[in-house]
Amino acid sequence: MTFAELMRFAKSNTRYSSTETPVSIPASAIGVNYGTLGDNLPPPAQVANFIKTQTIIDRVKIFDTNPDILRGFANSGIAMTITAANGDIPALTQIGYARQWVATNIAPFYPQTNIIRVLVGNEILHWGDESQVSNLVPAMRTLRDALNQAGYGAIQVSTAHSLGFIENADIPSMCRFRPMYERVLRPLLQFHRETKSPFMVNPYPYFGYSPEKANYCLFKPNRGVYDRGTRKMYTNMFDSLLDAVHIAMRVYGYGELGIVVGETGWASQGDAGLAPGMDNAIAYNGNLLRHVQSTGTPLMPNRRFETYIFALFNENQKPGPLAEKNFGLFWPNFSPVYKIGILRSEQAAQRQGPATPAPGLRPRHGGHHKRGAAPVPVAGKQWCVPKLGVSDQALQSNVNYICSQGINCQPVQAGGPCFEPNNLRSHASFLMNSYYQTKGLFPYNCDFAGTGMLTSTNPICPALRHV
């Protein structure tokens, strides 16, 4: 693609993103992958009760049609996505087999169990043999027909994909589906259009990790990656991967289709190489949780993505390296492996703000100050500012990150009420505090890779000191 072509793409893409119709999904749409490769896991009915009563999770994805799980989740209201085995795909192209599959795996449980979607196989284009790959779309169509005939037309049919089917994923505007998969993907996308079902992908920044990209992978402040083709700045790999898939779909003419994140997560411990570890798992999954609940991507700003974190439990019998056993959010006794705000009790504690408010005096004149007046500490309130000695490079990274997250940066731009004093530290102070006040008064929203701190001194510029 020439530079001129990139610029034309950017202009057309700007028009698209500004007029995009939001995709209607539930406000939370936070799901989890419920695997069962462990010999110490609790009964499914207990799992359903725990998810419903103790967490903000409202949907679950399983990798089979386990009848014990489907019975255990009856009357819970939790949205269930189930999976037909890869090996069933060739047979599912036959309507008789598809009807029997529905009679066995759907009819005994639905609608008491809130089955919303059936996935035909898992990552078939990556792992499937030729018979499974070539029969994928016919099997999806036949299963859809069988569901309709049984009166279960509200249940969607889809399939989950690894991102091995795209190339040039690092720069979204350059991303394309690999030519070898075109024969499957074009009819598959057409199926999704006809049935109004989502395209499901499994983006894993975990597998794209390198020390140089650590902050980019973990949603931490960083310089970002600028895409000349879209004229968008990317401050995290998750958004970049979703927009890369979106552009590949647009090239085929299916950019309006919804996207569901079927799997993403981070291992809390494991062998060296992909930086598994508790701190990284907390950073990635915690920031992911807040990100998908509050904003879209640079190219799809109005969308909210139904997202399934991998995984619910640490599974002690999963094959492979140690990390594979340690993607879970919870231990089998339901205690959290780490806390990211997914428990209802954590949400309640966070809403209360800091446990010990900073001491101080009430502001003069009801919080209003004359222009140029010295800041006055305010009782019970805290603001976010840069630490002393933070480099200009780090401050600029913070500014770039904040302005990419939907925070209003106009007040510190030329002509804005907080442009003066015109220096980077002043601008960064205003924006870091704006991020903290907007995203939630939690300490992690003032971390900024260790460059931020909470203070009882109001950093807001004099012109907006009343805020």
Regarding whether 401 and 315 lie in a shared domain, the answer is no
In this predicted structure, what is the pLDDT of residue 327? Answer: 97
Regarding whether 172 and 125 lie in a shared domain, the answer is yes
Q: How far apart, in whole angstroms, are the C-alpha atoms of residue 424 and residue 386?
A: 11
Regarding whether 393 and 314 lie in a shared domain, the answer is no
Regarding whether 260 and 395 lie in a shared domain, the answer is no
Q: Kindly state whether residue 103 falls inside one of the protein's structural domains.
A: yes
Regarding whether 117 and 74 lie in a shared domain, the answer is yes
Q: Kindly state whether residue 71 falls inside one of the protein's structural domains.
A: yes
Question: Which of 348, 364, 397 is a domain's end point?
Answer: 348
421: preceding bond cis by omega (within 30 degrees): yes
Regarding whether 230 and 336 lie in a shared domain, the answer is yes
Q: Kindly state whether residue 378 falls inside one of the protein's structural domains.
A: no
Q: Kindly state whether residue 61 falls inside one of the protein's structural domains.
A: yes
Question: Which of 348, 369, 393 is a domain's end point?
Answer: 348
In this predicted structure, what is the pLDDT of residue 82? Answer: 98
Regarding whether 54 and 119 lie in a shared domain, the answer is yes
Q: Kindly state whether residue 366 falls inside one of the protein's structural domains.
A: no
Q: Kindly state whether residue 255 falls inside one of the protein's structural domains.
A: yes
CATH of the domain at 301: 3.20.20.80
- Is 52 in contact with 77 (CB distance < 8 Å)? yes
Question: Is 256 known to be catalytic?
Answer: no
Confidence class for position 462, pLDDT limits 50, 70, 90: low
In this predicted structure, what is the pLDDT of residue 237? Answer: 98
Regarding whether 306 and 191 lie in a shared domain, the answer is yes
Say which of 20, 123, 130, 420 is annotated catalytic: 123
311: preceding bond cis by omega (within 30 degrees): yes
Regarding whether 294 and 193 lie in a shared domain, the answer is yes
Number of domains in the chain: 2
For residue range 189-218, what is the model confidence (pLDDT) as tens digits? 999 999 999 999 999 999 999 999 999 999
Please give the model's pTM, rounded to 2 decimal places: 0.75
Regarding whether 249 and 176 lie in a shared domain, the answer is yes
111: preceding bond cis by omega (within 30 degrees): yes
Regarding whether 417 and 324 lie in a shared domain, the answer is no
Question: Is 324 known to be catalytic?
Answer: no
The domain of 401 spans: 383-455
- Which sign, positive or negative, has the C-alpha torsion 14, 20, 26, 31? negative
pLDDT at 466 over 70: no
pLDDT at 293 over 70: yes
Question: Which of 332, 348, 364 is a domain's end point?
Answer: 348
Regarding whether 262 and 408 lie in a shared domain, the answer is no
Q: Kindly state whether residue 372 falls inside one of the protein's structural domains.
A: no
pLDDT at 11 over 80: no
Say which of 167, 256, 263, 420 is annotated catalytic: 263
